[in-house]
A and B are shown apart, each in its own frame.
Chain A
Amino acid sequence: MAAWVAYKATQNVRTFVVVGLNGLTLAGLYFVVASGFTLIFGLMRVVNMAHGSLYMLAGFFAFELQDRLTGGEATSAFGSSEAGVGDWVLPLLGASLAIGVIGLVMQQVFLRWNQGQELRQALITIAISVIIADQALANFGGIAQELAPPSVFPDSVNIHVYALNYPFFRIFVLSAAVAVGLVLWTVIQRTRYGMIVRAGVDDRDMVSALGINIQLVFAGAFFVGAFLAGLGGVLGGTMISVDKGNDTQYLLIALIVVIIGGMGSLGGAALGALALGLVDSFGDVYLPEGYTNYSVLLIFGMLVLVLAVRPLGLFGRPA
């Protein structure tokens, strides 16, 4: 596969560069979403099936907020009216925080008292996602919407490689993802809280026995995980769109990234996101013509490969 891509790449380097960038920027978005998911599972062993629903809700909330802030201007005719920096940052923060709180409430009400019952928790979060999906359809409609980035952001930039223009916002998302990754990594590796989280991932009972208020740690981690889903939702909603199919789509993405990378591992999430983003983009373009719709099989194959060699993911560890 790599050889085939390389061969095609030399044929048309411009396309290769664009597609490669597409893959990288997608990977960035996927990483932001999956990092929250893997954090929640790694620490609390909760598979949050509503993670995709949170992503989607954040997009809708942000869109509504932006709609009100700009009086419906920025969200309708793109390119022809101004969305100030505040008109994007406020929805970004507002929606992400709201989703973080929703996630926290969900955890406190539904998941706190049945810790350890993983299947039950998975079922609960599935039920919640069904309800959210239906209510979102009722309240936000079925048509895809888009968030407008701040108009100070140019539409595209010249990346000085083959005189290509590339959408600026996608590059922004990639940088944001890298920033998120760095922040998470720093917090986890260098702060006391992060140390507790790491210990909790390794041995929850021991941490509790040491007198640390494990419930507080969990609550905080769940909030952060949901917040990240929300952040991803707003970024994705601006980069691509906000759509009611997003909940299934991004749950699948989070699952795949984490299956490949391993539960509870940030580095694994980064690797998994890269793998998925690149395969997604390259598959669409470089599969032989007439077979581009088989790109799903590539993803499938990738999963099979990883699971055959490492059943717990590349950096996964057993419970």
Chain B
Amino acid sequence: MTLDRGLRWGPGLLAVVILALAPLLFSDFYLSAVITKALWLGIAAVSLIFLAGYAGMVSLGQVALYGVAGFTAANLVMADGGSKVALNPWVATLLGLVAAVAVGLFLGAIASRSYGIYFLMITLAFSVLVYFFFAQVTQLSGFGGVNNVELPSIVGNPLQEPARLFYIALVVSAVVYVALRYIARAPLGLAFQGVRDDPERMRALGHNVPLLRAVAFGLGALIAGLAGILSVWWNTRISPGSISLSQTIDVLVIAVIGGLYRLEGAWVGAGVVSVLENWLRGVDLVGNRFNTVIGTIFLLIVLVSPGGLVGIWGSATRTLQSRTSSRPAGDTAVPPNEGGSHALP
């Protein structure tokens, strides 16, 4: 019993304490370059996980959507490059989110009648097209991107006062997480899960399935948009390189490493990947081939544990519990069987 309690509450309390005190525990550089980055990457990844896990839509377009939000906001404030419509940064942020949601709803509507792997392909194609759009339309960005983006005053200067952006990212992450968990259990979320599990039946029950899927995608776009805005604040710039295919794959890797069905997995994965990338850059043996390393880790995780690291932890603690107490192994979320093209592995 004590062990069980320990496993449940101990790490959690530790986590809360460490995160709250992070600016004191870590150097400015680490706080900013690794931890804050992990937070907003986690938000991007959770949008993917939410869509994949709760709505059955594996989307590779989240990075492109956060690019739309980011580029829109960057173009609407004072900056070097872009269209320099100098609006208030908060207004620009809002419009950026609106743009992302609008594009998300539009894309969601177009792809709403496509399922499974086909849907994934379409989102991937759109994602690369968005990248080329911003790379080629120099009026909005061009290859050099938009630099020196004016930030809202509360963010301050992310390089000099990284704690501010850290707390903002932390708060946004927490809000997004709580909101998604709430939605998951609300009627809308249940409808999403119904669509994920059996669209035909949902249609028979009178639901407008394409509409539901479009709405889900729009919601995912909103969350991705939040990540995009944060990424612009973090970088103080945005360029097509920020939303290239390798970034899309990075976010996918994060989501998979963390675990495609657990919302928490987003930040676990983001944390692991950020720390790993920072560490690997200094390791002589790896040298320039860290992409190979990340790719291999990704491959191994997909081959071995579709539930990602979170899945591994879950099985490990379950094993521990079932060995040390008479409690039956808990009602874990079991991924549905692979079958038709609508389900997930």
Tell whether any CB of A sits under 8 Å from a CB of B in the complex: yes
Asked if residues A122 and B136 are in contact (CB atoms below 8 Å), the reply is no
Asked if residues B289 and A45 are in contact (CB atoms below 8 Å), the reply is no
Give CA–CA (A201, B142) in the complex, Å.
Answer: 43
CB contact list, A116-138 vs B, under 8 A: 116-120, 122-124, 126-128, 130-131, 133-135, 138
B298 nearest CB neighbor, chain A only: A127
Give CA–CA (A319, B302) in the complex, Å.
Answer: 24
Task: Pick from B125, B137, B289: contact of A252, CB below 8 A.
Answer: B125
Contacts of B315 in A (CB 8 A): none
Asked if residues B295 and A130 are in contact (CB atoms below 8 Å), the reply is yes
Asked if residues B344 and A248 are in contact (CB atoms below 8 Å), the reply is no
| Least distance between A185 CB and chain B CB atoms (Å) | 24
Task: Pick from A126, A133, A294: contact of B291, CB below 8 A.
Answer: A133
* Interface flag for A17 (CB, 8 Å): no
Q: How many residues of A contact B (CB 8 A)?
A: 42
B139 nearest CB neighbor, chain A only: A293
Size bracket of the B interface: 35 or more
Asked if residues A124 and B299 are in contact (CB atoms below 8 Å), the reply is yes
Give CA–CA (A294, B139) in the complex, Å.
Answer: 10
Asked if residues A255 and B117 are in contact (CB atoms below 8 Å), the reply is no
Q: A252-B128, A255-B121 are in contact. Are A308 and B306 (CB under 8 A)?
A: no
Asked if residues B345 and A296 are in contact (CB atoms below 8 Å), the reply is no
CB contact list, A178-198 vs B, under 8 A: none
Q: A116-B339, A304-B110 are in contact. Are A256 and B125 (CB under 8 A)?
A: yes
CB contact list, A93-119 vs B, under 8 A: 110, 114, 116-119
Give CA–CA (A117, B338) in the complex, Å.
Answer: 6
Contacts of A209 in B (CB 8 A): none
Asked if residues A300 and B133 are in contact (CB atoms below 8 Å), the reply is yes
B120 nearest CB neighbor, chain A only: A122
Give CA–CA (A297, B130) in the complex, Å.
Answer: 9
Give CA–CA (A294, B134) in the complex, Å.
Answer: 9
Q: A252-B125, A307-B111 are in contact. Are A127 and B288 (CB under 8 A)?
A: no
Give CA–CA (A173, B131) in the complex, Å.
Answer: 29
Contacts of A131 in B (CB 8 A): 291-292, 295-296, 299
B299 nearest CB neighbor, chain A only: A127
Asked if residues A134 and B291 are in contact (CB atoms below 8 Å), the reply is yes
Asked if residues B111 and A134 are in contact (CB atoms below 8 Å), the reply is no
B296 nearest CB neighbor, chain A only: A131
Contacts of A258 in B (CB 8 A): 121
* Interface flag for A26 (CB, 8 Å): no
Asked if residues A135 and B292 are in contact (CB atoms below 8 Å), the reply is yes
Contacts of B126 in A (CB 8 A): 300, 303
| Least distance between B213 CB and chain A CB atoms (Å) | 12
* Interface flag for B176 (CB, 8 Å): no
* Interface flag for B87 (CB, 8 Å): no
Asked if residues A47 and B121 are in contact (CB atoms below 8 Å), the reply is yes
A123 nearest CB neighbor, chain B only: B302
Asked if residues A296 and B302 are in contact (CB atoms below 8 Å), the reply is no
Task: Pick from B116, B122, B125, B296: contact of A118, CB below 8 A.
Answer: B116
Asked if residues B138 and A259 are in contact (CB atoms below 8 Å), the reply is no
Asked if residues A296 and B344 are in contact (CB atoms below 8 Å), the reply is no
Asked if residues A124 and B302 are in contact (CB atoms below 8 Å), the reply is yes
* Interface flag for A89 (CB, 8 Å): no
Asked if residues A259 and B292 are in contact (CB atoms below 8 Å), the reply is no
| Least distance between B245 CB and chain A CB atoms (Å) | 5
CB-defined interface of B134-157 with A at 8 Å, one 1/0 digit per residue? 001110000000000000000000
| Least distance between A286 CB and chain B CB atoms (Å) | 16
* Interface flag for B341 (CB, 8 Å): yes
CB contact list, A132-185 vs B, under 8 A: 133-135, 138
Asked if residues A120 and B295 are in contact (CB atoms below 8 Å), the reply is no
Q: A296-B136, A297-B133 are in contact. Are A134 and B292 (CB under 8 A)?
A: yes
Asked if residues B338 and A130 are in contact (CB atoms below 8 Å), the reply is no
Give CA–CA (A110, B128) in the complex, Å.
Answer: 26
Q: A119-B117, A307-B114, A319-B341 are in contact. Are A126 and B252 (CB under 8 A)?
A: yes
B338 nearest CB neighbor, chain A only: A117
Give CA–CA (A255, B133) in the complex, Å.
Answer: 17
Q: A116-B338, A135-B292, A294-B136 are in contact. Are A130 and B118 (CB under 8 A)?
A: no
| Least distance between B145 CB and chain A CB atoms (Å) | 15
Asked if residues B133 and A118 are in contact (CB atoms below 8 Å), the reply is no
Asked if residues B345 and A319 are in contact (CB atoms below 8 Å), the reply is no
* Interface flag for B340 (CB, 8 Å): yes
Asked if residues B292 and A123 are in contact (CB atoms below 8 Å), the reply is no
Asked if residues B116 and A119 are in contact (CB atoms below 8 Å), the reply is yes
Give CA–CA (A259, B120) in the complex, Å.
Answer: 11
Asked if residues A294 and B338 are in contact (CB atoms below 8 Å), the reply is no
Greatest chain A CB density within 10 A among B110, B114, B121 is at B121
Contacts of A299 in B (CB 8 A): 129
Asked if residues A312 and B291 are in contact (CB atoms below 8 Å), the reply is no
CB-defined interface of A278-319 with B at 8 Å, one 1/0 digit per residue? 000000000000000111110110011001100110000001
Q: A119-B344, A304-B110 are in contact. Are A138 and B125 (CB under 8 A)?
A: no
Contacts of B288 in A (CB 8 A): 138
* Interface flag for B132 (CB, 8 Å): yes
Greatest chain B CB density within 10 A among A47, A122, A127, A263 is at A127
Give CA–CA (A293, B136) in the complex, Å.
Answer: 5
Contacts of B118 in A (CB 8 A): 263, 312
CB-defined interface of B100-113 with A at 8 Å, one 1/0 digit per residue? 00000000001101
Nearest 4 pairs between A and B by C-beta? Answer: A130-B295, A127-B299, A134-B291, A311-B113
Q: What are 18 A-B contacts defined by CB distance under 8 Å?
A: A45-B117, A47-B117, A110-B303, A117-B345, A118-B116, A120-B302, A120-B345, A124-B302, A126-B298, A130-B294, A130-B295, A138-B289, A259-B121, A293-B136, A294-B137, A297-B133, A300-B126, A303-B129
Q: A47-B117, A119-B345 are in contact. List 4 more A-B contacts (CB 8 A).
A: A116-B338, A127-B299, A303-B126, A319-B340
